[in-house]
Structure 1
Amino acid sequence: MSLSPTPRTLQVSLRECRLVFERLMQVVRMEPGMVPALRDCALYSAALNLGGFAELQRHLQLLEQSGPRALSLDNQIDVKRVDCAGQHAWLVADTLLDLLADDLKRHGEARLRVANVQEPEELHVIKALAERYGLCIELASDTQGLTLTAQHRTQAPTLLDQIRLNGLKVEAALWWKLFHHANEALAPDSFESRRHAGSIMVDAKGRLVGRPDEDETDLSLLMAGIESGTTAPTH
């Protein structure tokens, strides 16, 4: 009997995770202003062992299919109720956190009942998002939805600190699949794209545009391609 090899795992840094997750949000054409928040939701989903890396492609499809909708707030009852209009948990997490943080600051207590949210388990990412406010969020579920309660947290290493120090483990094959998908957000490599890369622009003859000729930028790689005929300038 032969045993299947154990899948190889990688220890991926915080920077690498954010880079790939941010590009993936751009691939599915999320609104630019939402990209950083969605990137961090994906990061914390992986760190908290929610959907994480394995479910990321499915969550991207759900996000791609959804459009922004207005949330409705009913504050005429003992516990405020937010109807999320069927939106994905990652799309509403920051808004819910803002409501909780504001209530806690104003009234010394904060509770929200949340209904009509897609992928409600993913709303647990709010626990990690709340650490930037020095808050601790508890979630409780029942037949009517989720209830979120906010309190001030005691000083302790945050989840972000742990990710920064240790990174996240992910199966290598899955990581490279996500990595290559994320690269779809990049412009194809071409003579034209190289001319506009970084902080400078270069014309078709290799001259800097808008910068002095004594600029120290090394253009040898770009010009070598032209001289050898392997990179053709565009006209």
Structure 2
Amino acid sequence: MSERLDGTVALVTGASSGIGEATAVELARQGARVSIVARRRDRLAKLAARLEADGAEVLVIEADVTDEAAARDAIEQTVQRFGRLDTVIANAGVMLLGPIENAPVEEWQRMVETNVMGLLYTSHAALPHLLGAASSEPRRVADLVLVSSVAGRVARNGSGVYNLTKHGVGAFGEALRQEVTRRHVRVSLVEPGAVATELAGHNRPEIRETLSTRFRDMERMEAEDIADVIGYVVTRPRRVAINEVLIRPTEQEG
């Protein structure tokens, strides 16, 4: 049985496109007031207008969560505006693939800063507020959803540092889950396979061509498919915690 999110507040990082954008729409549909966080204010403004047209309360926050102060400020702005924080979707991430040999090290730095440190900063700043929400009405439970990847389970040639970051997300999430689960903060890991988003477009041209060939004959998932799963995870009754969800396209083998 699902439980709507009326009376609660959600924050989504990486909300300007893809999974983050679709998840913000889903959480608003479930009744949450939503704080949308990303670097591209113009995209956020368009999303906010869309949500507000459907009756949602939305806060737009232009922020780069790889900056600890900016991540913390995004959390505090949300709590100041809405008075609480019940659900956090740590979705911001980048996927920069290619061989380790002769790799541009700045790509590694960008992935570690975004996929690991941005997620850590967001989680750390949000945790006191999530613990507070979990001890109060209306739901007496709170959710931190970490958006990882199938790359957090399966190491692949050409994906070494991306694999490293996503394996790290899984380890962090499980340790934190054990730390706070008895206080009714649910920490959930969502691991998508191939999704038709902008993520692959950040790669160098030769890597984009390799990815295009790899997925040419595969029907990839849509961002809304992942948002639907996240919506399911955070609307479970207080007694139910969905710890981990691996979700692949039907045609994806590995």
Q: Same fold (TM over 0.5)?
A: no
When normalised by structure 1's length, the TM-score is 0.27
